[in-house]
Amino acid sequence: MPRITPDQAGGTNVCAFLDMLAISEIGAKLLASSDDGYNVLVGGNLFASYADHPNIFNAKLNSTAAGRYQLLNRWWVPYKQRLGLTDFGPLSQDRVAIQQIRERNALGDITAGHFESAVSKVSNIWASLPGAGYGQHENQLDQLRAAYVAAGGTLA
């Protein structure tokens, strides 16, 4: 579950979408063996402090992605400033993910239950989503829809 409340996030569907993103990016097994994905580095290792983005470069994967939504450090820095965040804790990670969704004009689709449209709009942010096109493993839309519904999301 995201740490942000449905009231803070803009509704239950937004929280369910965040859960779906975490399953897509992290995987259910690693979510269960970590702090719900909030302390996961790209590649599966864990980090210990939420004081700031860990900014640990994984040379094999050419990435600094970290956290529940696998945010790159280069994106964390401006979001931290823009949103006035003081740490890389779970609530901060949730807020950044929602801001990224907002910037792709997908929040309305999510709240209205237009799941496929929302996924399509944000697929260029998260490499694990169908249609992302980053050459990494992309999850199937049916699996992600099922995860979204299991997390309490509703479909139009």
> Which domains are seen in the chain, by residue range?
6-150 (1.10.530.10)
- 25, 103, 116, 138: which one is catalytic? 25
Confidence bin at 138 (pLDDT 50/70/90): confident
Residue corresponding to tokens 């400033």:
81
Model's pTM, two decimal places?
0.96
Q: 17 — phi, psi (to 5°)?
A: -65, -40
Percentage of the chain lying above the pLDDT 90 cut: 92
Q: What is the rounded distance in angstroms from the CA atom of residue 5 to the CA atom of residue 148? A: 16
Question: Taking 80 as the threshold, does the pLDDT of residue 58 lie above it?
Answer: yes
Q: What is the rounded distance in angstroms from the CA atom of residue 31 to the CA atom of residue 134? A: 23
Q: What is the DSSP letter of 125?
A: T
Q: What is the DSSP letter of 90?
A: H
Q: Which residue in 131, 47, 108 sits closest to 144, CA to CA?
A: 131
- What is the pLDDT averaged over residues 2-29? 96
Confidence bin at 11 (pLDDT 50/70/90): very high
- On the CB side of 120, CA atoms within 13 Å amount to 5
- What is the pLDDT averaged over residues 46-56? 97
Where are any strands of DSSP class E within the chain? none
Q: For residues 52 and 87, is the Cβ–Cβ distance under 8 A? A: yes
Tell me, yes or no, if 116 is annotated catalytic: no
Contacts of 28 (CB under 8 A, 6+ apart): none
Q: Helix, strand, or coil here: 63? A: strand
Q: Which residue in 135, 111, 144 sits closest to 26, CA to CA?
A: 144
